[in-house]
Amino acid sequence: MALQKNIETIQGLNVSDAYIRVESISLSKNLMHINIKTYVSVDKPCLSAEVFSCAYSLEGQNPFQQAYEYLKTLPEFSGATDC
């Protein structure tokens, strides 16, 4: 699972259909730390890496599904599609 979205890098480079993947997740009591990487495409080098944090539910979907659903609620991932 991953997300796809047109992005603009910090340097001002426009990337069509960037590939955004959750690389790993760390869980504590009720908190999830989501490590993501953004790529030009699935087979290209990483453009950037970021960490996001959010609450998670033990009764909910698996942590990766919860992570992707959370990311899609953030303004920087608005309009991202599943791929």
- pLDDT, one tens digit per residue, over 38-48 is 999 999 989 99
pLDDT reported for residue 29 = 82
DSSP string, 15-49: EEEEEEEEEEEEE-SSEEEEEEEEESSTTS-EEEE
pTM: 0.89
- pLDDT, one tens digit per residue, over 63-76 is 999 999 999 999 99
Domain boundaries, the chain: 3-78
> Which of the four pLDDT bands, split at 50, 70 and 90, describes residue 30?
confident
